Amino acid sequence: MLTEKAPGDAAQEIWREVARPAADRVADLLARMTLEEKVAQLGSAWVASSPDPGAEVAPHQYEFAEPTIDWAKVVQHGLGQLTRPYGTAPIEPAEGARWLLRRQAEIVEASRFGIPALVHEECLVGFMTWRATVFPTPLAWGATFDPALIERMATHIGATMRSAGVHQGLAPVLDVVRDARWGRTEETIGEDPYLVSTVGSAYVRGLQQAGVIATLKHFAGYSASRAGRNFGPVAVGHRELADVLLPPFELALREGAGSVMHSYAEIDGVPTASDVRMLTEVLRDEFGFTGTVVADYFGVSFLETLHGVAADSAAAAALALTAGVDVELPATRCYGEPLRDAVRSGTVPETLIDRAAARVLRQKIDLGLLDRPDAPAAVDFDTADGRDLARLVAEESVVLLANDGTLPLKATRIALVGPYADDPAAMLGCYSFPAHHGLHADPGVEVRTLRTVLPEELPGVVFTDDPADADLCVAVVGDTSGLFGRGTSGEGCDVEDLTLPGDQDRFLQELLDTGTPVVLVLLTGRPYALGAYADRCAAIVQAFLPGEEGASAVAGVLSGRVNPSGRLPIGIPRHPGGQAAAYLGPQLAHRTGVSSVDPTPLYAFGHGLAYTSFEWNTIPAEPTELATHEPISVTLTVTNSGDRPGAEIVQLYLHDPVAQVTRPVQRLVGYARVPLEAGQTTRVSFRFHPDLAAFTGRDGRRIVEPGDLELRLAASSTDIRATIPLRLTGPEREVGHDRVMVADVTLKVG
C-alpha cells in the first residue's frame, strides 16, 4: 500500500507541476490519496440532464440504474467518469453545456484534489445527442473502402464532442461479422478483418487527433456468438481469435487508441470481463496497451446476474478488477463500497486499486483535466459542413448490386412505393440518438426520405403510388433500427434467418408479379437474402442505414448524379436459411460435393457496379521468388473507359494453396480506391510484405511459411482480374505484433 500524504506544501506537490513527466505526477498524486479517493476514480455516475432518461429503452440494463441518487454522496471522494450527459435524453446543446459545466464544478469542489470527471458519450454514427449530425452506420463506412474519408468524418465528430466538453467516445466497433443474423451487424464495418482493421483504425486516428479518446469495442470475440444471438456464448479456437477477431484491435492500438471496452461475451465459458488472459496477458503484455479498460455497460454486474461466475457485487468487482477492468460503467454498483470493503477485508489487494487508478489519472493528466478549466461551449452540432460530410460518406457507401440498364432512371412516370419510401427511420442506425431513444417522430435533425428527395432529383418525372399506372416502380424496403427487440436491426435485435422483415418479402413478390419493372432499394442494417427475386428486378441498390443525408445519396445514385462506387463489406446471401458462411473460409466452408447446402452468396464480398467502365492492365511483378522477409511490388494501371467520372475499388487478395493448417481460400490483404475522370488512367502499386501471409500455426506461433502463394488482383472476391504467383523461400519465420499489417498503396495519375 502506498503511503498517504496530506496535500501539504504546494511546493512539494509534484502532481501539480505541468512540466513534470506524467508518470511522476501520477505517482505523487496516488501517494496522497485515500483508499476511498482512489476507488472513486474507478467509478462513474449516470445522471440524466433531463427528467426523462428513457429508461424503457433497455429494461435489462436500467434495472441497475438508481431512479434518484444522492449526488453529494456520489462525488464526496471524487468521480472517475460522467456517463452520457448529452446522450441520455433530449436536451438542447446550450442547456446540456450549462448542465455539464455545473456538474463538473460540483465534482471539482467536492474533491480534495479538484479532479474533474472524464466525460464519455457514444459516437458510433456521430455524437449521439439530440440535434447532432447523424452519419451513416459503420457497415456503410466499410462499403466506402475509403479510410481517408472515414478519418475526416471521425475528426469532425471528435471536434464537435470536444467542444462540448466530452473527452471519450465509445467507438469504433471492431468486431468482425461472423453471422449476419446478429443484430449488431449494422454496427460493424464488415466481414473481413483487413477491411475492419484499416477503416476502424482510420476512425481512431480521426477521433483522437480531435482530442477525444477512442474506445475500441468489443474486446473480443463478441460477434462470434452461437447462432448470432446477442450476449450468446462464443466458442472459437485460438486460431480464429488470433487471425480473424483480434487483428483489428491490434492495428487500432498502434494508432494509439486510449481505451478498450471489454466484450459482454463469454469465450469457452470465461466471461471476458473476468478474463485475465484476454484483458491483461493479451491486451497489455502482448499488445503493449497502456490505456484504460472500461466496462461495457453493467458488464461487471453481469458477472453476477447473467454469467453466474460471481456470488455478489463484491465478488464481481474482484473478478473484473483482477482481470484488468479499470473503470465500471455506466454507474458505480460494484466498484464503490463493495470494492472498498473487499480491500479493507483483505479480499482484494490494494495494489490492484492503485494499478487501475494510476491508469485513470494518467489519462486525465494527458487530457489536461488537472491543469486547465474544460468549459463546454454551446455549439451547433449539425452544421452545414457536417451534413456535407455525412452526404459524401453516404454517397460513397451506396452499392449498386445489379442493373440491366434501367439505372440511371430514364422513365417519365415512376411509382415510388414500399414501407420505407417515406420513413426517416430507414436512414438511422441504432446508435443514432433518435433510434436509440425511439424518438423517430422528432429526431432533432432533418432526416429526409426518398418520397421528398427523389421528385426534387428528377423534376420532370411524374410520381405515382400505383405501379399499374407507371413505366417503372422504385420499391423501398428495409429496417427500422432499435434496441432489444424494438427494431428489426440493432443491439439485441437478432433474427432467426435473413428474410426481409415482416411482410416485405411478400410485398416484393406481389409487386414483381404486376409486370412493371422494379428497381429495388434496400435501406438495411444487415444483408438480406435476395435470391427469390434478384433475377426479376431491373436493378438493385443497397444502402446500409445511410444517415440523415442518406435519401439524397440514394436519390443521386438513382438519378445518375452520383456514380455508385460502394462495394459490399459483407456478402449478400441467396437463401435466408442454411449455414451462415463468410467469404473468409477454408475450402470446406464453401460449396462442396459432401454437403447439400450451398453457402455461396448471391453477391460476394467486394462486389459493386458503376455507371462507367474500367479497364485493367497488370504489370508483371519481379521477382516471383523471394525470401519470407522480402516485400514485393504489384502494379497495374486502371483506366476509366467510360464517359463519366467514377471510382474503381482495386482489391488485392491472397491465396495460400498449401499450409500446415487450413487457410481461407482467399483473404483481402490490400485495396485502393481509385477516382478517375472519364478517359483518365492511374497507376496503382501495392507493396506486399510476406508478413501479410502470416497465420497462427499448429503450435500457436504466428509464422510466415515458405512455399507457394498467389496474389489476386480483383474487382471483388469473385471477380479476379489477374493472378501473380509467388514462391517464398528460406526458413519458416515467426512474427510478432510488430509485423507489417497493411499493404502500402501508391497512386500515380497518367
Stated as kind and residue range, the H or E segment containing 401 is: strand 399-403
Q: What is the pLDDT of residues 488-501, one digit of tens each?
A: 999 999 999 999 99
CA 465 to chain centre: 37
The reported pLDDT for the residue numbered 178 is 94
Minimal CA–CA distance to 121: which of 100, 144, 151, 138? 100
- Which single residue is written with the C-alpha cell 468521480? 79
Backbone φ, ψ for residue 110 (5° rounding): -75, -25
By CB atoms closer than 10 A (0-12, 13-18, 19+), residue 183 is: buried
The reported pLDDT for the residue numbered 41 is 98
Determine the average pLDDT of the residues in 330-336: 95
CA 298/CA 64 separation, integer angstroms: 8
Minimal CA–CA distance to 118: which of 103, 131, 99, 128? 103
The reported pLDDT for the residue numbered 11 is 55
Going from the C-alpha of 358 to that of each of 280, 404, 567, the distances in angstroms are: 15, 62, 44
Task: Give the pLDDT band (50/70/90) at residue 69.
Answer: confident
User: Do 434 and 443 contact (CB within 8 A), yes or no?
Assistant: yes
Task: Give the pLDDT band (50/70/90) at residue 49.
Answer: low
SS (H, E, C) 130-176: CCCCCCCCHHHHHHHCCHHHHHHHHHHHHHHHHHCCCCEEECCECCC
Mean pLDDT is lowest, of 202-216, 574-588, 611-625, for: 574-588
Length of the chain: 750
The reported pLDDT for the residue numbered 736 is 95
Residue 326's identity, in one-letter code, is D
Residue 580 has pLDDT above 70, yes or no: no
The reported pLDDT for the residue numbered 438 is 81
Q: Is 588 helix (H, G, I), strand (E, B) or coil?
A: helix
DSSP letters, 677-699, are -TT-EEEEEEEE-GGGG-EE-TT
Q: What is the pLDDT of residues 266-306, one digit of tens each?
A: 999 999 999 999 999 999 999 999 999 999 999 999 999 99
CA 547/CA 136 separation, integer angstroms: 4
Which CATH number is correct for 614-749, 3.40.50.2000, 3.90.180.10, 3.40.50.12500, 2.60.40.10? 2.60.40.10
Q: Is 22 helix (H, G, I), strand (E, B) or coil?
A: helix
- Which single residue is written with the C-alpha cell 466497433? 173
The reported pLDDT for the residue numbered 6 is 47
Task: Give the pLDDT band (50/70/90) at residue 1.
Answer: very low
CA 290/CA 568 separation, integer angstroms: 35
Q: Is 650 helix (H, G, I), strand (E, B) or coil?
A: strand
Query: Domain-by-domain residue ranges, the chain?
Result: 384-589, 614-749
Backbone φ, ψ for residue 201 (5° rounding): -65, -35
Q: What is the pLDDT of residues 647-686, one digit of tens each?
A: 999 999 999 999 999 999 999 999 999 999 999 999 999 9
The reported pLDDT for the residue numbered 2 is 34
The reported pLDDT for the residue numbered 55 is 41
Task: Give the pLDDT band (50/70/90) at residue 387.
Answer: very high
SS (H, E, C) 255-307: CCCCEEEECCCEECCEEHHHCHHHHHHHHHHHCCCCCEEECCCCHHHHHHHCC
Determine the average pLDDT of the residues in 247-274: 97
Minimal CA–CA distance to 72: which of 109, 36, 117? 109
Answer left, alpha or beta for residue 588, where phi above 0 means left and psi between -120 and 50 means alpha: alpha
CA 470 to chain centre: 41
CATH superfamily of 384-589: Glycoside hydrolase family 3 C-terminal domain (3.40.50.1700)
Residue 560 has pLDDT above 50, yes or no: yes
The reported pLDDT for the residue numbered 65 is 55
Q: What is the pLDDT of residues 402-420, one digit of tens each?
A: 999 999 999 899 999 999 9
Residue 53 has pLDDT above 60, yes or no: no
What mean pLDDT value characterizes the chain? 93
DSSP letters, 473-488, are EEEEEE--B-STTSSS
